[in-house]
Amino acid sequence: MDEIIRIKLGFTNTFLLRVSDEYILIDVGTSKKTKKFLRILDDYNISPDKIKYIVITHAHFDHTGCLAEIQKITGAQVIAHKNAVDLLKQGKNAFVGIKIKRFNSLIRRKLDKPQVYHPVTPDIIVDDTYTFEEYWTDIRVIHTPGHTLCSISAIDKNGNVFVGDSAMGFPIRIVPRLPIIAADFNLLITSWKKIIGEGAKKVYPAHGKPFKIDKIRKKVERKK
């Protein structure tokens, strides 16, 4: 991978990964940010049709808000886990819970709306692993459930890993660490062991700044 461009759309980080003269986009942020996204592309002198893939780390409104519009403009293929397919087709959020249980009802009310973003049908469906054959094995997509059951991460050969909400920083947490919001907290730890085993070195979360894997590794080791 040649370059990583972080673009903040709403309160969510999205990432453009340049491979040769093409791009993979990780997530699309909140709704009503398409014009901002196109302005930033123009600032970088990137034509929208150079974006060939959009990886959706999981089906939540702050990661899928502009998906339908950006897919139409770019013509990119949408990649998502098989557990996200029905949710994306309906414009719905995946289930999560929170460790502070008294707030669970608030989370559910926020997420359980009939449709929170424009529906999209994924083009490429991931089960456990997806490899971009035209980019050799430079970037792979792996299933990393925990935050949601449809969560996936993208990792490159240099150990840069894009994890969506499998780790969280600001505004959810002051410093990056494991999220307090998840569908299955035990499964989250299992996924982090998988990510570490894949050779991850630097973590790029959807909320907060990138950080070294050691911050997560220590917490995962304590869970053994």
Give the residue from 216, 219, 202, 215 showing the smallest Cα distance to 6.
202
Give the residue from 178, 164, 160 showing the smallest Cα distance to 217.
178
**The token pair that represents 35 in the structure block:** 């014009």
- Which helix (H) or strand (E) segment holds residue 14: the answer is strand 12-19
Query: pTM for this one?
Result: 0.92
**The token pair that represents 71 in the structure block:** 């897919």
Q: What is the mean pLDDT of the chain?
A: 90
What's the fold here for domain 3-222?
Metallo-beta-lactamase; Chain A (3.60.15)
Residue 111 above 60 pLDDT? yes
How much is the pLDDT for 4? 96
Burial class (CB in 10 A: 0-12, 13-18, 19+), 73: middle
Judged by DSSP in three states, 74 sits in helix
pLDDT band at 136 (very low <50, low <70, confident <90, very high): low
**The token pair that represents 187 in the structure block:** 């499964």
What distance lies between CA 21 and its chain's CA centroid?
22
Cα–Cα distance for residue pair 1/82, rounded to 1 Å: 26
Pairing of strands 77-81, 51-55: parallel
Radius of gyration of the chain, Cα coordinates, nearest whole angstrom: 16
Angle at which helices 34-43 and 67-74 cross, to 10°: 40
Summarize pLDDT for 53-88 with one digit per residue, the tens: 999 999 999 999 999 999 999 999 999 999 999 999
Give the residue from 93, 112, 117 showing the smallest Cα distance to 34.
117
Summarize pLDDT for 5-56 with one digit per residue, the tens: 999 999 999 999 999 889 999 999 999 999 999 999 999 999 999 999 999 9
Select the more confidently predicted residue: 161 or 1.
Answer: 161
